[in-house]
Amino acid sequence: MSRPPAALANVGLPGQWRAMRKFDAHNHVFLSGRRSNTDWSDVDNLIEAADVLGIERLFCSRPITAGVMANIDVVRDANDSVLAAMKRHPARIFGYCFVQPGNGASALEEIDRCLDGGMIGVKLYNQFRYIDPVIFPIAEKCIQRRIPFLGHSAFLTDPRTLAMQPKTSHALDFCALSRRYPELLLILGHINGGGDWEWEIKGLRDCPNVFLDTSGSVLEDDTIGLCVRELGHQRVLFATDATMEGCVGKILSAELTPTQREDIFWRNFQQILERRKA
Amino acid sequence: MIIDVNACLGHYPFRSLRFNTAEKMLGLMDRNGIDRALVSSLHAVFYRDAHRGNEELFEDTKSHGSRFIPVATVNPKYVGWERDLAEAVERWKMKIVTLVPNHHGYSLADEHGRAALTRIAQYGVPVMLMQRFEDRRQRHHWDRAEDLQVNELLEAAGAHPTLKFVLVNWLGLDGQRLVEAGLKGRCLIDFARTQVVYRKEVPKLIEALGVEAIAFGSHMPFDYVGPSLVKLANVRSLRTGDYEKIAWQNAAGFLEIEG
């Protein structure tokens, strides 16, 4: 990983913030559409930004969004683009396998194919609520393969947004899934991805097996502090979901001890990944 | 030196804010290396009589004149607003005025919005337009205000060709469209919601409007300050960036204040 010039300004920020080790537990490739097999600008911009911000590893997926119930061929194509990005930037981009649970056995086979290709986990979007039994085989596959299950989440209070995403899962759905599968490595995605984040954090208080990631475009003060106070810092994973500068800045601004910051930036997620080897 | 052009004081009805008094915000600014901040009153957004919020803001900030640059809020639907505006600009020497049309129940293009923008332009001070306070996906049941729309802004810019605009907390501004609306040289845009690296909205705006159009803004106390500090630090990685201009010189020049 190339390093930016050491002399870049640091006003108001901790010293050596760029050099702090960081794993981005929730990001994406090709979300804006891959225009051709030779256009890597989106992926290369991601790596360029990661270099500037000192993000060593990016854990990426390419979900099918906008409520589309994609067939397995479309899902495979999306995952193939993630595999290609991993090959272009080995040791920087790592993959989550996106699956659409409604594809049944094909979805489970796709997880195996992705893991064989080097991916590290599964990413689900909002095609189904996570309390829907159609999710259970995916959760069981994740347990069997000892991989994390990263789920799109929000507690949406805006009626218009909710109407567009009626099956988006919130904290209590994650809790229900976690109670059914306590051994599942379950991650609530983007606590700041839009929606009432205070509700989400408080909703996770009684679900000790659910992690959350800090990504999202909302940069509101005290999000990270509330996560740590209510859940403990070891359940909190640094991530950006493409809001790269903002999400690094949130962790730098939060009132954390150096050890807490280091754990959130990378060590907590590293420990999740190591469970697969155990 | 940093001047933050995007900050508010006071209570917000739908969420607890930690650094929303003058004293607490000064502490936050000190910890983050921010020397001065443009501050508007959240109370002026939610009181029926916005000017009562201006009075509070004036009282709260007058003993910290070297740190705070108060922003007057005008509600052109409220009786006597023109006299209130005169008091803020002429008597209290406030250097900038903000409108919150979606909270006060009018549009920039209707008779109320046009009257307010015309009067502000006559005073020769800029108008500040904040696209939103919070993300609407988390809105409280009583929070009905929509985000300001880019088209509404562009129409206002065209209808008031001498008025200067400070645009804070915006996303979705296209530099070329701003140029076509005649805003080059008469707008100042903060980067609280845009990106220097990866999405690169800031360098794209610089390319279209010049580096003079960009200013530091954090949206404190709603948001963490760190995100904007990271962006400011990243300005130095840009070929077109100019750290000192973005950190404070552009704001000082635009508002005709000392750095």
Q: What is the pLDDT of residue B258?
A: 77
Kindly list the residues from chain B whose CB atom is less than 8 angstroms away from the CB atom of residue A44: none
Does A221 sit within 8 Å of B223, measured CB to CB? Answer: yes
Q: Where does the pLDDT of residue A142 fall: very low under 50, low under 70, confident under 90, or very high at 90 and above?
A: very high
CA distance B238 to chain A (A): 11
Cβ atoms of residues B57 and B40 within 8 Å: yes
Q: Which two tokens stand for residue A164?
A: 């567009």
Domain parsing of chain B, residue ranges: 3-255
CATH no. of B3-255: 3.20.20.140
The 3-state DSSP composition of chain B as helix, strand, coil percent (nearest 5) reads 45, 15, 40
CA distance B147 to chain A (A): 13
Q: What is the pLDDT of residue A9?
A: 55
Phi and psi, residue A25, nearest 5°: -80, -5
The average confidence (pLDDT) of chain A is 93
Total length of chain B: 259
CA distance A70 to chain B (A): 25
B220 touches chain A (CB under 8 A): yes
Q: Looking at the predicted structure, is the pLDDT value of residue A6 above 50?
A: no
Total length of chain A: 278
Q: Looking at the predicted structure, is the pLDDT value of residue A242 above 50?
A: yes
Q: For chain B, give the percent of residues with pLDDT over 90.
A: 96
String of DSSP letters for B193-243:
SS-SSTT-HHHHHHHHH-GGGEE----BTTB-SHHHHHHHHHHTT-SS--H
pLDDT tens for each residue of A200-228 = 999 999 999 999 999 999 999 999 999 99
Q: For chain A, give the percent of residues with pLDDT over 90.
A: 88
Q: Which fold has domain A23-274?
A: TIM Barrel (3.20.20)
B144 touches chain A (CB under 8 A): no
B33 touches chain A (CB under 8 A): yes
Q: What is the pLDDT of residue A7?
A: 42
Residue type, B164: K
A48 touches chain B (CB under 8 A): yes
B20 touches chain A (CB under 8 A): no
Q: What is the ipTM of this complex?
A: 0.96
CA dist., res. A88 & res. A194, Å (int): 31
pLDDT tens for each residue of B49-67 = 999 999 999 999 999 989 9
Q: What is the pLDDT of residue B212?
A: 97
Pick from B193, B198, B233: CB nearest A9: B233
Q: For chain B, which ranges sit under pLDDT 70?
A: 241, 259
